[in-house]
């Protein structure tokens, strides 16, 4: 199998390389933008055929110089920052780039899998259904979510839904996310402080119906995520846009307690002010509706929540391996 993975040095992308290697697949073209980041470390130990910077790859795509025998394109490359306010950059990087790559895949009849996001659901006021008609009415809260929504809409409005497989990732956590800075999971960002100060800090709530720390997310372990992606790589005729979460929401307090439990420490949680710049864009509840995923024949056995946190804590404690898969 010949595979192209954009965003292949990133969080989910590099974990997918690990999964592909586990399945005996190494004829992989990795596409990313490394710049001055430490993302390159996610590629160490992975078996792949070649690497291209994202702009060089797009140029070759436009010149029709990409291997004609490619079996699948998995487009995970994007700016995923929910605090980036450069709308022009987001539209070019997340929306226009995705369109060009999708058109290339359609012309070559190559299965095209891509990353959407649960950020498209905005405040969740109409729920978390990934049915096509629901997708048409979503109202994202930030430009990241909107750039992802716009590509989903382009696919739907142009009758291309039977040519793509999109993944609306919920709150993914796990190894290989260290380079994401403020976009890392709370587990990764808090780990050193928990070890040093024996406490964890969470945002206060600014809604009366949610106590501090009781805001809820559908947290999904990255090992589950790459298993789900691989299922669709193996079944390219199963197309559509699918939620990728566990279908169960957990509070930030539950997450904190799971971390303390994994470290065999008493739970100590403090709450601090949420920055004003994100208070009106903050999601208080997310939970994936998995009925469409199940109709597609995926009956995945997810990591139990506490087991997933414990497994990840093991990577974070292993300083010599820098918490990589």
Burial class, 196, CB count within 10 angstroms (exposed 0-12 / middle 13-18 / buried 19+): exposed
For the chain, what are the domain ranges? 3-173+218-247+285-303
Beta bridge partners of 171: 219
The 3-state secondary structure of 47-65, one letter per residue: CCCEEEEHHHHHHHHHCCC
Please list, in sequence order, all residues whose beta carbon lies within 8 angstroms of the beta carbon of residue 200, skipping any fewer than 6 positions away.
Answer: 190, 193, 194, 256, 259, 260, 267, 268, 269, 270
Contact (Cβ atoms closer than 8 angstroms) between residue 57 and residue 31: yes
The torsion defined by the Cα of 235, 240, 245 and 249, in degrees rounded to 10, comes to -150
pLDDT digits (tens, 9 = 90+) for 90-118: 999 999 999 999 999 999 999 999 999 99
Beta bridge partners of 3: 28, 72
Average pLDDT over residues 262-272: 96
Supply the pLDDT for residue 281: 81
Residue % of the chain over a pLDDT of 70: 98
Give the separation between CA 113 and CA 239, rounded to whole angstroms. 9
pLDDT digits (tens, 9 = 90+) for 296-308: 999 899 999 999 9
Tell me how crowded residue 64 is: count the other CB atoms within 10 A of its CB. Answer: 10
Supply the pLDDT for residue 323: 54
Least confidently predicted of 105-119, 153-167, 176-190 = 176-190
Quote the mean pLDDT of the chain: 94
Spacing of C-alpha 81 from chain mean position: 11
Catalytic residues: 144, 180
CA atoms within 13 A on the CB side of 229: 32
Give the separation between CA 310 and CA 279, rounded to whole angstroms. 30
pLDDT at 309 over 80: yes
- The end-to-end CA distance of the chain, in Å, is 22
Higher-pLDDT residue of 237 and 319 is 237
Tell me how crowded residue 249 is: count the other CB atoms within 10 A of its CB. Answer: 19
pLDDT digits (tens, 9 = 90+) for 44-99: 999 999 999 999 999 999 999 998 899 999 999 998 887 788 999 999 999 999 99
Q: Are strands 216-217 and 250-251 parallel, antiparallel or unpaired?
A: antiparallel
Tokens of 207: 């809604």
Q: Which fold has domain 3-173+218-247+285-303?
A: Rossmann fold (3.40.50)
Report pTM.
0.95
pLDDT at 136 over 80: yes
């Amino acid at each position: 199998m010949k595979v192209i993975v954009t965003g292949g040095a990133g969080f989910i992308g590099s974990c997918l390389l690990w999964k592909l290697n586990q399945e005996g697949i190494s004829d992989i073209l990795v596409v990313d933008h490394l710049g001055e980041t430490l993302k390159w470390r996610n590629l160490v130990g992975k078996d792949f055929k070649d690497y291209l910077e994202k702009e060089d790859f797009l140029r070759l795509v436009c010149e029709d110089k990409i291997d004609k025998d490619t079996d699948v394109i998995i487009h995970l490359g994007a700016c995923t920052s929910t605090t980036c306010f450069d709308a022009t950059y987001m539209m070019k990087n997340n929306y226009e780039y995705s369109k060009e790559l999708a058109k290339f895949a359609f012309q070559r009849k190559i299965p095209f899998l891509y990353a959407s996001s649960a950020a498209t659901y905005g405040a969740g006021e109409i729920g978390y259904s990934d049915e096509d008609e629901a997708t048409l009415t979503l109202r994202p809260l930030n430009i990241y979510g909107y750039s992802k929504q716009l590509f989903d809409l382009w696919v739907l409005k142009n009758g291309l839904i039977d040519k793509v497989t999109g993944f609306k990732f919920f709150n993914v956590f796990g190894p290989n996310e260290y380079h994401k800075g403020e976009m890392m999971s709370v587990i990764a960002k808090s780990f050193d402080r928990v070890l040093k100060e024996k406490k964890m800090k969470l945002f206060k709530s600014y809604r009366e119906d949610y106590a501090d720390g009781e805001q809820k997310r559908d947290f999904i372990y990255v090992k589950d995520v790459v298993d789900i992606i691989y299922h669709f790589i193996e079944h390219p005729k199963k197309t559509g846009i699918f939620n990728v979460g566990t279908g169960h929401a957990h509070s930030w307090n539950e997450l904190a307690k799971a971390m303390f439990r994994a470290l065999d420490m008493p739970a100590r949680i403090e709450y601090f002010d949420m920055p004003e710049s994100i208070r009106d864009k903050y999601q208080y509840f997310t939970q994936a509706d998995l009925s469409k995923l199940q109709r597609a024949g995926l009956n995945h056995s997810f990591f139990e929540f506490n087991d997933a946190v414990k497994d990840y804590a093991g990577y974070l404690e292993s300083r010599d391996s820098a918490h990589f898969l």
